[in-house]
Amino acid sequence: MDIQSLKKDVAASTEGQWVGDIPEMGQLRLRVRGENSPKVAALRARKLRAVPKDKRGRDGMPIYEEVLRVTTEVLHEVVLLDWDGLTNGGKPVKYDPELAKQWITDPDFQDFADAVAWASKIVANGQADQVEEAAGN
């Protein structure tokens, strides 16, 4: 096992990278932070600690609905940084944090939130460049 194969670019994950060739998302490209980014981890931990007792299970862990809420808030607040190739009715949509919040938190747009989460995993795994290269072939 080559130790270099285990190395991840934490700086790139923290600053964000463009990810294209997202399954079922056409020409959409997302600029996201990796789920392993210190900013992402810190916000997730802070929000999960803030979940009140009445929204926790017997084991003290937040209930599923709260974990889902926190996850979507984190995707909106620190993971998604920009998009390219997104249209609405055929017209290009410029990145807007309020639209991002609306689409990530609305269950009717779950596929968009899933795309952001998928892209974040790709960046965390250090594979954003590999996905872009594969898309070009």
Please, what sign has the CA dihedral across residues 52, 57, 60, 63? negative
* Beta partners for residue 91, in sequence order: 88
* Closest of 74, 2, 83, 4 to residue 39, by C-alpha: 74
pLDDT, one tens digit per residue, over 70-81 is 999 999 999 999
**pLDDT at residue 114, rounded to an integer:** 97
Position 136 pLDDT exceeds 90: no
**pLDDT at residue 137, rounded to an integer:** 45
3-state secondary structure at position 110: helix
- Domain assignments of the chain as residue spans, ordered by start: 11-136
Instruction: Report the chain's mean pLDDT, rounded to a whole number.
Output: 90
**pLDDT at residue 9, rounded to an integer:** 67
pLDDT band at 127 (very low <50, low <70, confident <90, very high): confident
- What percentage of residues in the chain have a pLDDT greater than 70? 88
Position 105 pLDDT exceeds 70: yes
**pLDDT at residue 130, rounded to an integer:** 58
Q: String of b and e for 96-127 (b: at least 16 CB within 10 Å)?
A: eeeebbebbeeeeeeebbbbbbbbbebbbebb
Worst-scoring range by mean pLDDT, 12-21, 24-33, 51-60, 90-99?
12-21
- The rounded distance, in Å, linking the Cα atoms of 111 and 32 is 16
pLDDT, one tens digit per residue, over 2-44 is 777 666 666 767 889 999 999 999 999 999 999 999 999 999 9
- Residue 30, φ and ψ in degrees, nearest 5: -125, 140
